[in-house]
A and B are shown apart, each in its own frame.
Chain A
Amino acid sequence: MGEVLVVTSGKGGVGKTTTTANIGTALAMMGYRVVLLDADIGLRNLDVVMGLENRIVYDLVDVTNGRCRLKQALIRDRRFESLLLLPAAQTKDKTAVNPEQMKALCDELKQESDYVLVDCPAGIEQGFKNAVAGADKALVVTTPEVSAVRDADRIIGLLQADTEMHHPLLIINRFRPQMVRRGDMLDVDDVNEHLAIELLGIVPEDESVIVSTNRGEPAVLNVNSRAGEAYRNISRRLMGEEVPFMDIESNGTFMGRIRRLLGMRTG
């Protein structure tokens, strides 16, 4: 039986959908059976990022309303046999699904997969509650900006208060080492210190993410993409592997600390 991971953030546009698509694809590349579940009802995006938008027949709400069977709504990825997508509905009614239905759906999906990745909508309302309802583990995405970190803090507080997910994992996205060196961006330590949850990975700001999204091919498929590499590393860490952090951090002190944490020798 598999595990359900929800990718959430509070603030919009920080990279939840990008993260879901990339980690899901990376896990499928590693041979795992993965289902991507787009829980952003009304603002369906994951299909486009995955390049699967033309194959949609049924969606999440069709399944929960019993208009089709779950198997009929799952779209198989063109590249990986073991990668499936359940698209969100484009209905305006965000209450079309409730947390109980989402929990039941996740429970069913994980019967026949290793990982179910839920792409959570922005905000802390119904859509968030739906997305976390069936999840076993949460990945919180933020960018190194005051507003995004603040919202991540809110989300972590809600996860800890209202769910069993007391130890969410942190992903810092759109990190720009040059700006950090210039002193114009919060560094990893600043973010870590406040959020105080385990850091799963740091994804650099990278044009290849936009190029990949244009093509409908997640960046992890591109061996030359820095962001793709970061997402591949994140996926391996999720599998329990100890992967050193990429050298995109601002200052040696942080790297040194990470290396020491991981029990590695510097250099």
Chain B
Amino acid sequence: MQRILGKEANRASKNIAAERLRLVLMHDRLDLTPQMMDSLRSDILKVIADYLEIDESGMEIALQRSNNSIALVANIPVVKMKRLPASAG
């Protein structure tokens, strides 16, 4: 930890700024509208419904920002596994 912090302090501030700029812009541009979030949510549901029975009301999806990346995090409670036929389709 100390080593990482020490390194960070010695790094040219330009590099730190460039990295922060990259992340902040990625985040700003990724800011999906509530409508887009809703349709993403229902599309995910549609795909999953073929395989699992899930608790729709407990489903949470969000864009999460961490130190150096942005992730789409989904928490989808599974109620029941579906018994898939041996050869589907």
Count of interface residues, chain A, beta-carbon cutoff 8 Å: 16
Question: A150 contacts the other chain (Cβ, under 8 Å)?
Answer: yes
Q: How many contacts between A and B, using CB within 8 angstroms?
A: 40
Q: How far is the CA of A49 from the CA of B15 in the complex (A)?
A: 35
The reply to whether A150 and B15 form a contact with Cβ atoms under 8 Å apart is no
Q: How far is the CB of B30 from chain A (nearest CB, A)?
A: 12
Task: For A190, list chain B residues within 8 Å (CB).
Answer: 14, 17-18, 21
Contact B21 A149 (CB under 8 A): yes
Is A183's CB under 8 angstroms from B15's CB?
Answer: yes
Interface size on B, residues (CB 8 A): 13
A-B contact pairs, 30 of them (CB 8 A): A145-B17, A146-B20, A146-B21, A146-B24, A149-B21, A149-B25, A150-B24, A150-B25, A150-B28, A153-B25, A153-B28, A153-B29, A154-B28, A180-B14, A182-B12, A183-B14, A184-B14, A185-B13, A185-B14, A185-B17, A186-B14, A186-B18, A186-B21, A187-B14, A190-B14, A190-B17, A190-B18, A190-B21, A194-B22, A194-B25
Residues of A within 8 A of B (CB): 145-146, 149-150, 153-154, 157, 180, 182-187, 190, 194
